[in-house]
A and B are shown apart, each in its own frame.
Chain A
């Protein structure tokens, strides 16, 4: 590990001040991603600002503001607590399922909600400093190891010649489906609110930039609006082993029904792009339709028609279709077996 300075802060304003104007400083939350990357020499911060003492851990109902009736989830709360919180279990079971589909019990006990959104890609070329990676070495533009390399786990939507990595978070996929917003603070300027759908970005020419968070910004909370999806939602994660593996494809599916007619649909995919992928085409095709397998299939096929697979991941197109259909079916019927 490279030597670094370690600073402890106790409130939001000292946190944001400590990091202001220091491009090589990083907040340290659970450390489950950042420390791994530092050990591998991928992240090379000169200063770590320990934010674990900030009291941003509450999960509470929102009684005012745009998301009134919804819920606020503190950025420094642990993934385990979010997944087990009664308000989340009752009103946003999709989110609880997505969190529990990720990592392991031990890691979720350390991982924070804000850190989860900012975890970096698991692309093996990004993780191995002996390999070329535009995301890791932006100045030098050494090329993308995965573009022509082993890319079975990589993107089928929205990739660029510079980067074909996917975002690894499960939690973020459910949040994208549930129209979450991210609240951030910085040393200068007022609080910003970023829709989760716009929080992560596509790689384009700047794969080193994962999100639209600006330098020095601190995530304080994630907010979810009230919705009517709690009854009919499901998070499906397809992976190479039953637990403790990143998604080949994941689907967060949620339906609001009037009888069998779909009033609203939310579908987001994980493991397919540099960001949680809202399946807007599929959603639009479902609205107003009957909740039937035929309609689910039609929507899934329309969504996956735009996929551009790489050399080793063509299977994700078919798998994506099937997974969308399955996730919608389970959301609709509640029957997982």
Chain B
């Protein structure tokens, strides 16, 4: 992947690594703002109804308390200003268990937390809709036009007449993003202006939402968010805690810090919704698909709709003449669901790729062969040509690297002592888009020493954005990596796309590349000379004796990008070991082969992919947020109950990238890798569990009890 003399494509270690491991990288609550006060949120203990009375007297009198803010005294906010999930203390109405109903501000965190418990609340309860198993029967067509029934041909008829078919419902539970850094904010007012130190995956989005909700001008909000301790979608949209910190700071006329506790995360910042996905496949004897139906039923919030697109993979993965993709949704008294790593694709691929595996067993065909037989030459959903598609290479190279041919085709044939071994494969995909982003680059020369500063309001979730942008700039300017400074995560910088939907790397790297090219062009023009060999910006600074030079670009995706269907693709291979007596599953080996365009940095890219894989393994085996169907509360509120995989759950992880040169998607040929790493993973694991045990588990997670 490396081009000659380029640092792009080389496995450079994170340039901010030392800052992070020495604790010098400041996260949202690390800023040494003076005279700070602490806010603690308190939450409803019912899921539906209204607050009849709220007695804040004892809390207000508690030592150190500066203010108690509830719907009774909160400043008026705009509730449709772009903050997700409501809970802005504007009304006594309760729509979910654990909705914010107020906050205490005090001199210390402990004082605020204590006082928050002294608030006495009485409610008028109404009937809460919290039992998805019952309510799913009442689900209706979503308002979102993109979730309208999508039909091609007649899938139902084709299914009826099919010789071979699979019809099954796949269940995925509620999951939480649970980034290691819980959502946290410091708000500091300076006159009309408020600075919000906050973890934001979309810096300008947070700025706009905060300004609109607070009813102030956009330029009066500054978001500072250079480092983020993970987000996975939960820090994409912004939630009430951001704005309520600003409100608290205004009320007490001091800077205020508000950090959510782990327990508060479950009902403050969205979730991945529970889905029932019915997938139906029909095929001929020789494995040609004749119909594919993917029907999703899920839930959303009472007032707000969000439906993750579980049918997306089914739209494009296979050549099939008859296709049906539908969604039904039921409002529930639970917090608004939101984008969660690989939204729709991670969950949707579990259903689709499990069903494909089931079909392969029915046809007695290798599941790789079945997939290869149904490879589409164009995007079946819209007829557009692929910008590039690597599914076949991913499967073939993966099969070789993984030793697929040694797998036992029949289930339950591979016992080793107390364990059954199994192998599974599943594919995945995620769209690749570039979004408009601006960037500024400034060059400075002291003698022959030239340094560059690259600036844009991009977000680095901890994935290595600073590093890949320094690499991009170094090559484009002709400077060594260590002469580049990258400044991100500040709304005072040129506006940029969010680090969401896997658009970050392509949007930012193209903007940085463009601005460096533009700067070089401008220096050439300024020189008034003609060059046989195009000089670098670094050379021009010296030859033209320039001390300082700066320029900015507003980069946009290529004009013809949407004439093509652009996606990253992968194939996932899992080896599992299942304890015959106890049903405990361990993924002993996992391989992800990914085609994601140009890989800017194989080291950070590998981390991204195996990070996605680890969550996918968690999704397959351990992660589940459980709601008590009587009251709507989560019973899994800590990492003791919500089981993200531990080190011991993860075996040997391998990531392979397919070389590809896709200049159609965007000028640099960069596709995203943030999401595709989780897509197809759970299916690969579940398929391996079937291969090991002969048990087809269609309800995630595959906990030991399901295999007894």
Q: Do A and B come from one complex?
A: yes
Chain A positions 29 through 49: 1 when the CB is less than 8 Å from some CB of chain B, otherwise 0: 000000000011100000000
Known: A1-B110, A3-B114, A128-B637. A240 touches B581 (CB 8 A): no
Chain B residues near A63: list those with CB within 8 A: none
CB within 8 Å of B: which A108-156 residues: 122, 124-125, 127-131, 145, 148-150, 152
B641 at the binding interface (Cβ < 8 Å) = yes
Known: A2-B114, A128-B633, A337-B419. A242 touches B649 (CB 8 A): yes
A315 at the binding interface (Cβ < 8 Å) = yes
In the complex, A143→B447 CA distance in Å? 78
- Distance (Å) between the CB of B48 and the closest chain A CB? 15
Q: Are B648 and A242 in contact (CB under 8 A)?
A: yes
B381 at the binding interface (Cβ < 8 Å) = no
Q: Are B584 and A127 in contact (CB under 8 A)?
A: no
Q: Are A242 and B582 in contact (CB under 8 A)?
A: no
A212 at the binding interface (Cβ < 8 Å) = no
Q: Are B417 and A326 in contact (CB under 8 A)?
A: no
In the complex, A336→B645 CA distance in Å? 23
Known: A41-B117, A149-B630. A326 touches B581 (CB 8 A): yes
Q: Are B703 and A240 in contact (CB under 8 A)?
A: yes
In the complex, A240→B646 CA distance in Å? 11
- Distance (Å) between the CB of B173 and the closest chain A CB? 12
Chain A residues near B98: list those with CB within 8 A: 130
In the complex, A201→B638 CA distance in Å? 27
A239 at the binding interface (Cβ < 8 Å) = yes
* Interface-facing stretch out of A172-180, A260-268, A317-325: A317-325
- Distance (Å) between the CB of A84 and the closest chain B CB? 19
Chain A residues near B638: list those with CB within 8 A: 127
Q: Are B705 and A323 in contact (CB under 8 A)?
A: no
* Interface-facing stretch out of A16-24, A159-167, A244-252, A275-283: A244-252
- Distance (Å) between the CB of B209 and the closest chain A CB? 29
Chain A residues near B637: list those with CB within 8 A: 124, 127-128
Q: Return the chain A residue nearest B636 by Cβ.
A: A124
Q: Return the chain A residue nearest B416 by Cβ.
A: A337
Chain A residues near B643: list those with CB within 8 A: 240-241, 245
Q: Are A1 and B113 in contact (CB under 8 A)?
A: yes
Partner of A241, one of B97, B114, B416, B645: B645
A243 at the binding interface (Cβ < 8 Å) = yes
A106 at the binding interface (Cβ < 8 Å) = no
A73 at the binding interface (Cβ < 8 Å) = no
In the complex, A116→B637 CA distance in Å? 22
- Distance (Å) between the CB of B38 and the closest chain A CB? 13
In the complex, A3→B646 CA distance in Å? 35
Q: Return the chain B residue nearest A124 by Cβ.
A: B635
- Distance (Å) between the CB of A150 and the closest chain B CB? 5
Partner of A40, one of B263, B417, B586: B263
- Distance (Å) between the CB of B625 and the closest chain A CB? 11
Partner of A130, one of B622, B633, B701, B704: B633
Chain B positions 640 through 657: 1 when the CB is less than 8 Å from some CB of chain A, otherwise 0: 110101111100000000
Partner of B581, one of A125, A149, A241, A325: A325
Chain A residues near B647: list those with CB within 8 A: 243
Q: How large is the interface on A (under 10, 10 to 19, 20 to 34, 35 or more residues)?
A: 35 or more
In the complex, A322→B646 CA distance in Å? 25
Chain A residues near B219: list those with CB within 8 A: none
In the complex, A323→B579 CA distance in Å? 11
Chain B residues near A243: list those with CB within 8 A: 646-649
B708 at the binding interface (Cβ < 8 Å) = yes
Q: Are A150 and B635 in contact (CB under 8 A)?
A: yes
A238 at the binding interface (Cβ < 8 Å) = yes
In the complex, A3→B65 CA distance in Å? 14
Q: Are B646 and A326 in contact (CB under 8 A)?
A: no
In the complex, A318→B580 CA distance in Å? 13
Q: Are B110 and A326 in contact (CB under 8 A)?
A: no
CB within 8 Å of B: which A46-94 residues: none
Q: Are A242 and B705 in contact (CB under 8 A)?
A: no
- Distance (Å) between the CB of A21 and the closest chain B CB? 26
Chain B residues near A128: list those with CB within 8 A: 263, 633, 635, 637
Chain B residues near A337: list those with CB within 8 A: 416-419
B583 at the binding interface (Cβ < 8 Å) = yes
In the complex, A336→B416 CA distance in Å? 12
In the complex, A39→B584 CA distance in Å? 33
Chain A residues near B263: list those with CB within 8 A: 40, 128
Chain A residues near B641: list those with CB within 8 A: 122, 124
Q: Are A248 and B705 in contact (CB under 8 A)?
A: yes
In the complex, A333→B318 CA distance in Å? 51
Chain A residues near B626: list those with CB within 8 A: 150
B469 at the binding interface (Cβ < 8 Å) = no
Q: Are A323 and B622 in contact (CB under 8 A)?
A: no
Q: Return the chain B residue nearest A245 by Cβ.
A: B643
B45 at the binding interface (Cβ < 8 Å) = yes
In the complex, A240→B633 CA distance in Å? 21
Q: Are B584 and A239 in contact (CB under 8 A)?
A: yes
Q: Are A319 and B703 in contact (CB under 8 A)?
A: no
CB within 8 Å of A: which B434-489 residues: none
Known: A242-B649, A318-B708. A326 touches B635 (CB 8 A): no
Q: Are B649 and A241 in contact (CB under 8 A)?
A: yes
In the complex, A268→B628 CA distance in Å? 31
In the complex, A322→B97 CA distance in Å? 39
B592 at the binding interface (Cβ < 8 Å) = no
Q: Are B621 and A241 in contact (CB under 8 A)?
A: yes
Chain B residues near A39: list those with CB within 8 A: 113
In the complex, A125→B635 CA distance in Å? 7
Chain B positions 501 through 533: 1 when the CB is less than 8 Å from some CB of chain A, otherwise 0: 000000000000000000000000000000000
Q: Are B114 and A240 in contact (CB under 8 A)?
A: no
Chain A residues near B631: list those with CB within 8 A: 131
Q: Are A241 and B646 in contact (CB under 8 A)?
A: yes
CB within 8 Å of A: which B59-117 residues: 63, 97-98, 110, 113-114, 117
Q: Are A238 and B584 in contact (CB under 8 A)?
A: yes
Chain B residues near A248: list those with CB within 8 A: 704-705
Q: Are B622 and A150 in contact (CB under 8 A)?
A: no
Chain A residues near B649: list those with CB within 8 A: 241-243
- Distance (Å) between the CB of A72 and the closest chain B CB? 31
- Distance (Å) between the CB of B120 and the closest chain A CB? 13
Known: A241-B622, A319-B704, A319-B705. A149 touches B635 (CB 8 A): yes
In the complex, A148→B643 CA distance in Å? 23
In the complex, A1→B641 CA distance in Å? 22
In the complex, A242→B247 CA distance in Å? 44
- Distance (Å) between the CB of A331 and the closest chain B CB? 14
Q: Are A246 and B705 in contact (CB under 8 A)?
A: no
Q: Are A240 and B117 in contact (CB under 8 A)?
A: no
- Distance (Å) between the CB of B125 and the closest chain A CB? 13
Q: Return the chain B residue nearest A316 by Cβ.
A: B705
In the complex, A335→B645 CA distance in Å? 26
Q: Are B582 and A322 in contact (CB under 8 A)?
A: yes
Chain A positions 219 through 238: 1 when the CB is less than 8 Å from some CB of chain B, otherwise 0: 00000000000000000101
Partner of B646, one of A122, A129, A244, A323: A244
CB within 8 Å of A: which B623-679 residues: 626, 628, 630-631, 633, 635-638, 640-641, 643, 645-649
Chain A residues near B584: list those with CB within 8 A: 238-239, 242
Chain B residues near A122: list those with CB within 8 A: 640-641
In the complex, A149→B626 CA distance in Å? 11
In the complex, A238→B706 CA distance in Å? 13
Known: A124-B636, A149-B630, A240-B704. A326 touches B114 (CB 8 A): no
Known: A41-B117, A125-B635. A319 touches B622 (CB 8 A): no
The 8 closest A-B pairs by CB, nearest first: A242-B648, A315-B705, A130-B45, A124-B635, A326-B581, A243-B648, A322-B581, A238-B582
Could you list 7 examples of A-B contacts with CB < 8 Å? A124-B641, A128-B637, A239-B704, A241-B622, A241-B643, A242-B586, A242-B649
Q: A130-B43, A326-B418, A326-B582 are in contact. List 10 more A-B contacts (CB 8 A).
A: A1-B110, A3-B114, A124-B636, A124-B641, A128-B635, A128-B637, A149-B630, A319-B708, A325-B581, A335-B417
